[in-house]
Chain A
Amino acid sequence: MKQFFIFVKKEWLHIWRDRRTLVILIGMPIVQIVLYGFALTNEVKNSRVAVFDQSNDDATRAIIQEINASRYFSVTDYVHSYQAIGATFRKGKIRLAVVFPQDFQNDLLQRNTAEVQLIADASDPNTANTLTNYAAAIINDYQQRVDENRDLPYTIKTQLRMLYNPELKSAYNFVPGVMALVLMLVCAMMTSIAIVREKELGTMEVILVSPLRPFRVIIAKTIPYLAVSILNIACILVLSVYVLNVPINGSLLLLIAESVLFIVTALSIGILISNGARTQQSAMFASMLSLFLPTLLFSGFLFPIENMPWPLQLISNLVPAKWYYNIVEAVMIKGLGFSAIWKETLILVAMTVFLLGLSIRNFKIRLA
């Protein structure tokens, strides 16, 4: 056991002495989270608004004026068709469009209810949410003020339409994505590089001639990266709670346990890559191609998997990050318990056992 710890310590020294890589390892997740945090908390003052007023009566004019008067909005465009709204959005001139149907005031007077539609550019989902909330609040204010003088209250229904990103994917979805990505990179890529480096330098040969068992060498090499990964998770979670205000709705313990499972999955992929790669560069490229891109594309945090063609959907099932992403989303965002994610967990466990078995078997073959 003492030999083992001496080896772990040596592995830690490698990481510690390589300050540049260490800074990247610890800094990358922080930068990603913070960047997204600030990119998503946009200033909404004086956002440009387009109006499509098909009714053009006292009520709609009053509401438009109220919107224009608020410090959040300034009405800049009056358009006369839905097509024109889309075109104005695409030009990037406006962030919100307000659509009044025909006979808005008539509806209010005769049926006590009318509808107004708010259309927002949801490619920036946080801003879209904020804008529609503010606009709805202004309309609500107007309604209450008018209602004060009436026995039968008016109801103005606001109908929301989110353009470009109907599911409002946002920081809430980004946090699990970053977790999957960072763990994949740190564990799989860094471990594979660390193992291949020893092969490249020739020290692996000397280690294999020593009484240290190969299996223990591999485990010892992965332990410092396991520690760094857990540190990364802690950073990401703290930042998402305190900077991005993304709450941890489910059990923290469950979240951490699932993360450790995913770390082991990633580590075994790293070992597997290191078996095949001869140079650090090839280990890096193999990691990039087999981990980074699939995680980005197929975990579902950038592109909804449901909208992909079925062959790609099938492929996405093979990407461990997809299952981990689903788990984190379920536990952290939706606050679900283990009963909701046992299937995903089982798939991850199966993948891990398979990968670990394969990598250890292959590692032994290299010694024969």
Chain B
Amino acid sequence: MSITTEKVITARELTKKFGDFTAVDRISFEVNRGEIFGFLGANGAGKTTAMRMLCGLSLPTSGTASVAGYDVYRQNELIKKNIGYMSQRFSLYEDLTIRENIRLYAGIYGLTDRQIREKTALLVRQLHLEGNEKTLVRALPLGWKQKLAFSIAIVHDPAIVFLDEPTGGVDPVTRREFWGLIYEASSRGITVFVTTHYMDEAEYCNRVSIMVDGRIDALDSPARLMQEFAATSMDGVFLQLARKAQRSAD
């Protein structure tokens, strides 16, 4: 399935203030169905806060946003049913087995027992984990854990999956494989909303936005951004924008 012009995320003037501090400052953007949308910014630029508002974890101070067709103010329970989420910290239970983790998250999202069995088999095959279903997740190498966490985040075939720096600390080869999984999900029509620090990953995205001091300073496909900023890589684009930042990174 290719990218459509159907909007699955729409944000208008979305703002979040903590007291006097404006973490997210009137950001507006749209994400199309099936798109891989890169959400870039230095530490402290407001990426995580923006993402938390879209996931229904945090209420916006002002502005509007809809995710999967639901309003973030009034319908966050419906949003939660239709999104997947993988946090920057490892989000599986290490003292549970691979199968138990899959079962837990699939069960939380209301899959039937039969669906859970099918999904487990599919997932284990996809990740080449056959025979390891009863291994505790603790025993897996980090790269496999991350791939498993991603697969579990989309076990219920959500409309959108939010990935918060999913490849932190993972080696380049595994990162490649990880992006293979992302493309596969995208080809099934799952919209991917991903924050990252790695600029080579930014180039894998269909479109990227770059946040500086709570605002979105640039938003386009990587190729056009490089053209616009006369840079040879996304690194160049990012550095030009990030240098303007007033806020210090936290």
Q: Which residues of A line the B interface, CB within 8 A? A: 2-3, 6-7, 10, 13-14, 17-18, 201-203, 205-212, 367-368
Chain A's closest residue to B138 (CB) is A17
From known contacts A10-B96, A13-B95, A211-B80, infer whether A206 and B87 are also in contact, taking CB-CB under 8 Å: yes
Give the chain A neighbours of B104 by CB distance below 8 A: 6-7, 10
Whether, in the assembled complex, B34 has its beta carbon less than 8 Å from a beta carbon of chain A, the answer is no
Q: A201-B89, A368-B58 are in contact. List 16 more A-B contacts (CB 8 A).
A: A2-B107, A2-B110, A7-B108, A13-B95, A203-B93, A205-B85, A206-B87, A206-B153, A207-B108, A208-B57, A209-B80, A209-B83, A209-B85, A209-B162, A211-B77, A211-B80
Taking CB atoms and an 8 Å cut-off, the chain B residues in 111-157 that contact chain A are 136, 153
Whether, in the assembled complex, B198 has its beta carbon less than 8 Å from a beta carbon of chain A, the answer is no
Bound Cα distance from A368 to B90, whole angstroms = 23
Give the chain B neighbours of A211 by CB distance below 8 A: 77, 80-81, 108-110
Bound Cα distance from A152 to B195, whole angstroms = 103
When the two chains form their complex, are residues B56 and A209 in contact, meaning their CB atoms are under 8 A apart? yes
Give the chain A neighbours of B72 by CB distance below 8 A: none
Bound Cα distance from A313 to B110, whole angstroms = 52
Give the chain B neighbours of A10 by CB distance below 8 A: 93, 96, 100, 104
B1 CB to nearest chain A CB (Å): 24
Residue in A3, A201, A205 whose CB lies within 8 Å of B110: A3
Chain A's closest residue to B59 (CB) is A368
Chain A's closest residue to B91 (CB) is A206
Give the chain A neighbours of B89 by CB distance below 8 A: 201-202, 205
Give the chain A neighbours of B215 by CB distance below 8 A: none
Q: Which residues of B line the A interface, CB within 8 A? A: 55-59, 77, 80-81, 83, 85-96, 100, 103-105, 107-110, 136, 153, 162
Bound Cα distance from A13 to B99, whole angstroms = 13
Give the chain B neighbours of A201 by CB distance below 8 A: 89-91, 94
Nearest first, the 8 A-B pairs at minimum CB distance are A202-B89, A6-B107, A209-B85, A206-B91, A17-B95, A211-B80, A205-B87, A211-B81
Bound Cα distance from A205 to B55, whole angstroms = 11
Bound Cα distance from A209 to B84, whole angstroms = 8
Residue in A13, A210, A367 whose CB lies within 8 Å of B96: A13
Give the chain B neighbours of A3 by CB distance below 8 A: 107-108, 110
B149 CB to nearest chain A CB (Å): 9
Q: Which has the most chain B C-beta neighbours within 10 Å: A14, A201, A211, A367?
A: A211
When the two chains form their complex, are residues A206 and B86 in contact, meaning their CB atoms are under 8 A apart? yes
Chain A's closest residue to B78 (CB) is A211
Chain B's closest residue to A200 (CB) is B89
Bound Cα distance from A208 to B94, whole angstroms = 18
Give the chain A neighbours of B58 by CB distance below 8 A: 367-368
Give the chain A neighbours of B90 by CB distance below 8 A: 201-202
Bound Cα distance from A206 to B59, whole angstroms = 17
Give the chain A neighbours of B56 by CB distance below 8 A: 209
Give the chain B neighbours of A368 by CB distance below 8 A: 58-59
When the two chains form their complex, are residues B91 and A6 in contact, meaning their CB atoms are under 8 A apart? no
Give the chain A neighbours of B77 by CB distance below 8 A: 211
Give the chain A neighbours of B100 by CB distance below 8 A: 10, 13
Give the chain A neighbours of B92 by CB distance below 8 A: 203
When the two chains form their complex, are residues B95 and A210 in contact, meaning their CB atoms are under 8 A apart? no
Chain B's closest residue to A203 (CB) is B91
B137 CB to nearest chain A CB (Å): 11
When the two chains form their complex, are residues B91 and A205 in contact, meaning their CB atoms are under 8 A apart? yes
Bound Cα distance from A197 to B87, whole angstroms = 16
Give the chain B neighbours of A2 by CB distance below 8 A: 107, 110
Bound Cα distance from A201 to B145, whole angstroms = 14
From known contacts A3-B110, A10-B104, A368-B59, infer whether A210 and B91 are also in contact, taking CB-CB under 8 Å: no
A207 CB to nearest chain B CB (Å): 8
Bound Cα distance from A137 to B101, whole angstroms = 69
Bound Cα distance from A212 to B104, whole angstroms = 12
Bound Cα distance from A257 to B57, whole angstroms = 38
